[in-house]
Amino acid sequence: MRVTDSATQPRIRIDVLVDDDDRRAELYDATFWSLRSTPRELPAVWLYDERGSLLFDEITRLPEYYPTGAEREILMARAAEIAELTRGRTLVELGAGTSEKTLLLLDAVSAVGTLERFVPLDVSEEVLRASAEAIAERYPAISVHGIVGDFERDLAALPPGDGRLIAFLGSTVGNLYPERRARLFRAIAAALAPGDSFLLGVDLVKDPAVIERAYNDSRGVTEQFVRNALTRANRELGADFVQERFAFDAHWDADRAWMDIGFNAVEAHTVHIAELEVEFELAEGERLRLEVSSKFRRDGIESELAGADLRTTGWWTDDASRFALLLATG
């Protein structure tokens, strides 16, 4: 582990648990094996280079893409209530990114007068450092302890303390397959001490037409975002994905209650990936998945949490019941 302090903000500490070489090796290994799964998959992390991150930010502002606005609506209405219920001394954010929505929580917990520390955990050191600097400047009364790591693997690295509120927003949990969600919930339950709470954002099952429109926007920004993963793989892996041979397809799978996002091969062809020393054949119509986005019902997600010995103590939705925040304890 590498530990650094900010040159300009003495209240900032950054623990680096994974570096670029670690991330690259793990990504290459995950890519090697996921391309052998059924259906074939290209790990979703390939979506998020600089251009992909900018495109996703654009997606969150599209009129069809409701999750970001719905979650923000809940936080604006309920953050003060959540802060009073938890009276957190430490706010932890998993997969923090730029921590934009977390500002609403930080404001609310700060107003209660209990907040002492913010702990963002994110895999991107560059993004985390920029966010830590901004948070430390905005909230001069708190310290910032950033962790560059993987929220599925590095929860044991969270600093101890009384009254921690661990937030996992954006329904990022929906991008995990059920078995990975179960492992994550067990790890969170193990990390929670008495007096800690877990705040989870989940996208809810609703009219499939509403859900599908969110991933098939009229401007085609989502398609650009997903196609960028192929462009990045070509650049960084020496792959030869040909965009014209892949038809974008994002559809609702009612049996699994998730959006299945990826491509179908327009024609049979072979893809070569030089960096992995791999080639594979795609049949006409064969699926290349980039991501799933599960949607939840209250009884289902509460049951998943209960399976990890997490008890739901609070539930809030936006006015249209499109999205929910739930609070749980161990």
Tell me what the mean pLDDT of segment 304-315 comes to: 98
- The amino acid occupying position 110 is S
CA distance 75 to 91: 15
CA distance 184 to 42: 21
pLDDT, one tens digit per residue, over 218-271 is: 999 999 999 999 999 999 999 999 999 999 999 999 999 999 999 999 999 999
pLDDT, one tens digit per residue, over 37-81 is: 999 999 999 998 889 988 998 999 999 999 999 999 999 999 999
pLDDT at 7: 52
Identify whether 140 is preceded by a cis peptide bond (ω within 30 of 0). no
Choose between 123 and 82: higher pLDDT: 82
5: confidence class by pLDDT, cuts 50, 70, 90: low
CA distance 61 to 69: 8
Choose between 117 and 126: higher pLDDT: 117
318: confidence class by pLDDT, cuts 50, 70, 90: very high
298 to 63, 87, 219, 316: CA distances (angstroms): 25, 25, 32, 11
**pTM score, two decimals?**
0.93
205: confidence class by pLDDT, cuts 50, 70, 90: very high
Query: Across the strands, what pairs with 121?
Result: 94, 147
CA distance 160 to 194: 11
Q: What structural domains and CATH numbers belong to the chain?
A: 42-61+208-294 (no CATH), 69-206+295-329 (3.40.50.150)
Res 299 pLDDT > 90: yes
- The amino acid occupying position 25 is A
